[in-house]
Amino acid sequence: MTCKEFLALLDDLIDDSVSDETRAQLRAHLGGCEHCKVTLDTTRKTIEIYRSHEVYDLPDGLRERLHAAIMARCKGGC
Amino acid sequence: MPMAIIQPVVEKLEQHPDVALVEQVLRQDASAFDTLVRKYEGQVFRIAQHITQNREDAEDATQDAFLKAYQKLDQFQGNSKFSTWLVRIAVNESLMRLRKRRTGKMVSIDEDISTDEGSVPRDLADWAPNPEQNYNQAELADILRKTIQGLSQGFRIVFVLRDVEGLSTEETAETLGLSVPAVKSRLLRARLQLRERLSRYFHQKKGAEK
């Protein structure tokens, strides 16, 4: 397996949607390719960081203001 | 008959709590919608902010999305998740806000996706085990914001829906009106571009400590 072929299957590997046979081929490639191993590890980490950290937090004041506006209009029949 | 008693219990257990709330709203119980708003307002606001890149527009789009959801609640089909249905409305309202701001300019989730920047990994030095710990929360949030803002819109929306908000590939495709292969292609490039851009920050910090 070449690095290009590995890269084409990177998402499927991350999302765990590869067959056992393909996974074995990908693992074999990783065993001898430090570049692809780093790409896999840091791409996984990228997703994990974005998933676990709030990029845009809703401040409490804004939360209440939005809430009041929505509920006021909905109770009035929108 | 035992079966007659067991059957409704099984059906009740399988029903998603959101569906019960929707049914309550349809029976004129506004407090049930209150619960749905509180549950999803953070998610809707995040999506709106990622799409509009503008706080005021994101606030308006959030409000409009919930109002539209309330108005159209009787059209909600219980065979899809309420959250996915709401996200679709939020994406549409956000794109509409963007169009209003860019009067006369077409706004599409297809724009600026021709770039191959970052699609072939170049920065291949490994990261520290927990690179985010080198930054305080505000610094890290700033880095993550700047980095994702640099992605083209077509990549950013796919990454946000699929990886941040946890929609499936199929749900993301349906929400954005894209094919599954198109979502997969954009997701790969979005992930690789973000990885490449984050590498610069994490390497800089690591280098500065030496």
What is the amino acid identity at position B37?
V
Positive or negative CA dihedral for A61, A63, A64, A66? positive
Query: What pLDDT sits at residue B53?
Result: 92
Say whether B37 and A71 touch across the interface (CB within 8 A). Answer: yes
Quick check: is B106 in a domain?
no
> pLDDT tens across B11-63, in order?
555 678 888 999 988 888 878 888 999 899 999 999 999 999 999 899 999 99
Count Cβ–Cβ pairs < 8 Å, chain A vs chain B.
111
Q: What is the pTM assigned to this prediction?
A: 0.84
Token readout for B10 is: 């099984």
CATH value at residue B64: 1.10.1740.10
Flag if B126 and A53 touch (Cβ within 8 Å). Answer: no
A50 and B148 within 8 Å at the Cβ level: the answer is yes
Residues from chain B that touch A78, judged by Cβ atoms under 8 A, are 67, 70-71
Q: Who wins on pLDDT, A72 or B155?
A: B155
Per-residue pLDDT at B147 exceeds 90: yes
Q: Which domain holds residue A35?
A: 3-75
Interface touch A53/B141, C-beta < 8 Å: yes
Check which CATH number belongs to the domain holding A53 and give it.
1.10.10
The answer to whether A56 and B50 have CB atoms below 8 angstroms apart is yes
Q: Once rounded to an integer, what is the mean pLDDT over residues B2-6? A: 49
Considering only alpha carbons, which residue of chain A is nearest residue B188? A11
**Residue A70, helix vs strand vs coil:** helix
Put simply, the answer to whether B45 touches A46 (Cβ < 8 Å) is no
Q: Which domain holds residue B62?
A: 2-101
Domain assignment of residue B171, yes or no: yes
Higher pLDDT, A39 or B103: A39
Q: Please compute the mean of the pLDDT values over residues B6-10 and round it to a whole number.
A: 51
Q: Are residues B97 and B184 in the same domain?
A: no
Cβ contact B141–A39 (<8 Å): no
Same domain, B167 and B91: no
Give yes or no: residues B16 and B62 share one domain.
yes
- Looking at the fold, whether B94 and B135 belong to one and the same domain comes out as no
Please give the residue that has the higher pLDDT: either B112 or A1. Answer: A1
Closest partner residue to B191 (CB to CB) among A43, A58, A63 is A43
Cβ under 8 Å to A: B residues 20-49: 30, 33-34, 37-38, 41-42, 45-46, 49
- Please answer yes or no on whether A41 and B127 come within 8 Å at the CB atom: yes
How far is B15 from B18, CA to CA, in rounded Å? 8
Do B149 and B72 have their domain in common? no
Using CB atoms, pick whichever of B132, B137, B195 lies closest to residue A43.
B195
Q: Which residue of B has its CA nearest to A64?
A: B38
Q: Write down the mean pLDDT value for chain A.
A: 87
How many domains does chain A fold into? 1
Determine the distance in angstroms separating the CA of A68 from the nearest CA of chain B, rounded to an integer.
10
List pLDDT tens digits, range B96-145.
Answer: 998 888 765 555 655 554 555 556 666 677 887 788 888 888 899 999 99
Q: How far apart are CA A57 and CA B53, in angstroms?
A: 14
Asked if A53 and B188 come within 8 Å (Cβ–Cβ), the reply is no
Three-class secondary structure assignment of chain B: CHHHHHHHHHHHHHCCHHHHHHHHHHCCCHHHHHHHHHHHHHHHHHHHHHHHCCHHHHHHHHHHHHHHHHHCHHHCCCCCCHHHHHHHHHHHHHHHHHHHHCCCCCCCCCCCCCCCCCCCCCCCCCCCCCHHHHCCHHHHHHHHHHHHHCCCHHHHHHHHHHHHCCCCHHHHHHHHCCCHHHHHHHHHHHHHHHHHHHHHHHHHHHHHCC
